[in-house]
Each structure stands twice: as structure tokens, then as C-alpha cells.
């Protein structure tokens, strides 16, 4: 265990935050021992996986940060149709997806290139391009952070929703996920319907993509839209796409006929937060207060010295360096207020605030 560790390399926003105590876990036994230590019992603690979805608001974390770095991938079961594969929590997610694709296993390819670690993936049920983690999830193993008890969580017990699970709700902060089992398929089942996948493939002269070609296409598409965390600090989508009642959507659609939307199975409608943010701006709030300001500035591409809204995807807030978590919080609040003033929808963050 170390003390006063700078967490800058451990959060993709790249904010400076010093942890009073920091423990790196390289095997599960180390975690079991840690749970019974005095520091663990006396300090508040935070499980930090890849740090790709956290916002450190303060420059000091007064507690114990537990960085899970356990490695290993193993095949648990295999037949001619399916394979069950287990990945340890500290495995790099994009590397793991690449590994499954190279083996010809279908199920995770649309989730390629999402920065993060395996153990964090179920917490927010990561999703992209018409696919979610829950679609291939079989079960996960976790350790209770008070008792040290090991527990297997089935898919039902995880209560997955859109960017949501039991680990973000009732059991928040109570368990550390130690490994995840996936059920993958050997028969070709590609999901190409979403967004611009087909357009990208046809531009590249690919009519019937292989698994590997789809994986590579997803990586390339993500690269054009999302900033590289090694160059610009960010946490991917900062907000969730709001789900609203159909009646509210119909009213909005009258004023904004081009508003993109996806019908949800429960009769509700999901609206892309990126569109709402792009179509409001710093002047929206002032406009709502009176007709004197007719500025139409969009948040998309807006920036101050330290933070901003990514120019190619308004859902992503970025840190250009030298800023603090407070700068992002302030920007996020202004965005929420202006979107609400214009569209009557309060968007909520996807990122975890610490
Ligand atoms: N849009 C805009 N302006 C923008 C961004 C988006 O008008 O600045 C519109 C687009 O025109 C499109 C719609 O919003 O009609 C949807 O955009 P996109 O396909 O880029 O997806 P998204 O809803 O913005 C979600 C996920 C992403 C995931 C993509 C692709 C959430 C919160 N985000 O974004 O996930 O990569 O779909 O499937 O659901 C992440 O979670 O970190 C993440 C990047």
C-alpha cells in the first residue's frame, strides 16, 4: 500500500487528485487481505478500475483507492456453437474484445475500442452501436467489501438497464467485481443496423463484412468521433441519452421536426443528448430569460482555457489540461440548465462523480 499517490494517470480526464492511500491489487488474495486490514476498516474506499468513467471533483481523495489490476482470460466451456469465456477484472476491455474477435467468437465486436477494464464494464452495462454488454453477459463474480464474502451474480441479479445495473444502485460501493463470464457464439451474427456502420463499410467497398472487418470498422468510426484519451482528457459520453414520454416527444417534434429519436420497447422515446447539447448553447439560458439576447451559439466545440465540449461529439466533455474537476462540473451544470431551458428535459450524467 502506498500513500499520497497522484491519481492523474488513473483517470482518463487527467485531473490531479491525490489519494491518501492507494493499493494495487494483482491477485484476488491481495484484495481479501486488504479487506481485513486496519486501513481498509478505518478509511472510506473507492474501487478504481480503468478510471475511464470517473470525475474527481476535488484534488484530494481522503481515503483508500483500490486499483484492480488482476489479469487472465480462460475458456470455461466450449462446443461447436458457443464458448463461455472468463476474463479477470483488470483485463483491458479493448484488448479482450480483440482477443475474442481473433478467435472468431461473436458477441462483443460492436463494443470494440471502448476504453476501460473488464471489471467496470457490467457496472454501467457498456453499450455502443446497437449492442450492450448484457447481451453476452453470463455472470460475474464479486467480493463483498465488508465481509469478504464471494458472490456470483447472474444476469437477472445484475438488473441491467441502459447504462445501469444493480452495482450503480442498491449495491453501489458494496462489491468489487473480480471476474466476468461471457457467452459468445461461433455462428456469424453481425449487428450492422446501427448508425453509420453500413455507410462506413460500403465506403470501404465491404459488402459482407467478416467479424474482424466489423471490429476494425467500429474502431475506425469511434476514432473519427471520439477523442483519444491519450491526447485529450475525457470520459466518453458524459451524459446519458434521456428517455422521455411519447407525448412530450410529440410536442418537441412539432417545434423541432428533425430531432433524432429511437423508440423504446416501453412506448417511451430516447433522444440523443448530443443533439440536445448541440442545439443549445451558452446563450440559451440568457435567451430563456428575455428576448434581448438572440445569440445562437452552440455548445458543440465550445471551450475555455481548460475544458470544453468536443467539437465532433457534443456528448463528450473534454479537459485540455490545467483544469480541475470543478471546471467540468460547472460546465456540465450550465449545459444541463441550458438544455432544460430550451427543451424542458433535464439530462443526467453517465460519469461517476467522486
Ligand atoms: N448527435 C448530434 N450532435 C452531436 C452528437 C450526436 O446531433 O454532437 C446526434 C447524431 O446526429 C445522431 C445521434 O445524435 O443522430 C446519435 O449519435 P451517436 O450515434 O454518435 O450516438 P450517441 O447517442 O451520441 C451513444 C453512446 C456512445 C456510443 C454511441 C455509438 C450513450 C450515452 N452514448 O452515443 O457511448 O459510442 O452511441 O453507439 O449512450 C460512451 O458511453 O462513453 C459512449 C461513447
CA of 259 to the centre of ligand 1 (A): 13
**So which residues are the catalytic ones?**
163, 237, 350
pTM, two decimal places: 0.93
130 burial via Cβ count (<10 Å: 0-12, 13-18, 19+):
middle
Q: Residue 350: CB within 6 Å of ligand 1?
A: yes
pLDDT at position 265, please?
Answer: 84
- For β-strands 137-144 and 175-185, DSSP reports them as antiparallel
- d(C-alpha 118, C-alpha 121), whole Å: 5
Task: Note the helical H segments in the chain.
Answer: 28-35, 38-42, 93-102, 155-158, 197-203, 211-225, 246-255, 273-278, 282-289, 325-343
Q: Residue 260: CB within 6 Å of ligand 1?
A: yes
* Percent of the chain with pLDDT strictly greater than 70: 97
Q: Whose CA is nearest to atom 16 of ligand 1?
A: 272
pLDDT at position 296, please?
Answer: 54
- Residue-wise burial string across 312-333, b where 16 or more C-beta atoms lie within 10 A, e elsewhere: ebbbbbbbeeebbbebbbebbe
Q: What is the pLDDT of residues 16-60, one digit of tens each?
A: 999 999 999 999 999 999 999 999 999 999 999 889 999 999 999
pLDDT at position 287, please?
Answer: 59
Q: Please enumerate in sequence order all residues whose Cβ is within 8 A of that of 112, keeping only pairs 6 or more positions apart, or say none.
A: 94, 97, 98, 101, 215, 218, 219, 222
Q: Residue 236: CB within 6 Å of ligand 1?
A: yes
Q: Which domains does the chain have, with CATH numbers?
A: 2-68 (3.30.43.10), 73-185 (3.30.465.10), 235-353 (3.90.78.10)
Q: What is the pLDDT of residues 197-208, one digit of tens each?
A: 999 999 999 999
Predicted confidence band of residue 319 (pLDDT cuts 50, 70, 90): very high
Q: What is the pLDDT of residues 209-243, one digit of tens each?
A: 999 999 999 999 999 999 999 999 999 999 999 99
Q: State the average pLDDT for the chain.
A: 94
Predicted confidence band of residue 70 (pLDDT cuts 50, 70, 90): very high
* Percent of the chain with pLDDT strictly greater than 90: 91
Q: Point out the least confidently predicted range of 118-127, 140-149, 281-290, 339-348.
A: 281-290
pLDDT at position 284, please?
Answer: 72
pLDDT at position 198, please?
Answer: 92
Amino acid at each position: 500500500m502506498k500513500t499520497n499517490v497522484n491519481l492523474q494517470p488513473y483517470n482518463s480526464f487527467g485531473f490531479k487528485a491525490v489519494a491518501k492511500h492507494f493499493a494495487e491489487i494483482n491477485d484476488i488474495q491481495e484484495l481479501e487481505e486488504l479487506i481485513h486490514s486496519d486501513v481498509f476498516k478505518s478509511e472510506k474506499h473507492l474501487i478504481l478500475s480503468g478510471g475511464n468513467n470517473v470525475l474527481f471533483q476535488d484534488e484530494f481523495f481522503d481515503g483508500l483507492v483500490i486499483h484492480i489490476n488482476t489479469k487472465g482470460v480462460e475458456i470455461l466451456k466450449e462446443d461447436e456453437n458457443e464458448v463461455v469465456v472468463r476474463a479477470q477484472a483488470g483485463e483491458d476491455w479493448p484488448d479482450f474484445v480483440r482477443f475474442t474477435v481473433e478467435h472468431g467468437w461473436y458477441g462483443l465486436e460492436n463494443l470494440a475500442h471502448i476504453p476501460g477494464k473488464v471489471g467496470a464494464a457490467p457496472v454501467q452495462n457498456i453499450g455502443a452501436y446497437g449492442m450492450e454488454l448484457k447481451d453476452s453477459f453470463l455472470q460475474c463474480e464479486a467480493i463483498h467489501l465488508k465481509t469478504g464474502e464471494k458472490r456470483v451474480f447472474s444476469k437477472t441479479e445484475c438488473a441491467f438497464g441502459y447504462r445501469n445495473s444493480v452495482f450503480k444502485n442498491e449495491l453501489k460501493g458494496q462489491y468489487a467485481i473480480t471476474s466476468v463470464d461471457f457467452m459468445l457464439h461461433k455462428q456469424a451474427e453481425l449487428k450492422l443496423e446501427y448508425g453509420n456502420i453500413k455507410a462506413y463499410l460500403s465506403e470501404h467497398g465491404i459488402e459482407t463484412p467478416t467479424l474482424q472487418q466489423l471490429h476494425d470498422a467500429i474502431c475506425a468510426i469511434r476514432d473519427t468521433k471520439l477523442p483519444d484519451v491519450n491526447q485529450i482528457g475525457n470520459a466518453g459520453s458524459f451524459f446519458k441519452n434521456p428517455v422521455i414520454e411519447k407525448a412530450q416527444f410529440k410536442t418537441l417534434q412539432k417545434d423541432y421536426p428533425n430531432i433524432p429519436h429511437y423508440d423504446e420497447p416501453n412506448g417511451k422515446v430516447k433522444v440523443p443528448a448530443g443533439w440536445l447539447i448541440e442545439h443549445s448553447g451558452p446563450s440559451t439560458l440568457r435567451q430563456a430569460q428575455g428576448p434581448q439576447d438572440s445569440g445562437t451559439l452552440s455548445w458543440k466545440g465550445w471551450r475555455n482555457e481548460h475544458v470544453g465540449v468536443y467539437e465532433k461529439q457534443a456528448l463528450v466533455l473534454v479537459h485540455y489540461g490545467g483544469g480541475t474537476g470543478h471546471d467540468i462540473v460547472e460546465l456540465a451544470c450550465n449545459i444541463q440548465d441550458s438544455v432544460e431551458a430550451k427543451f424542458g428535459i433535464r439530462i443526467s450524467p453517465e460519469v461517476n462523480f467522486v
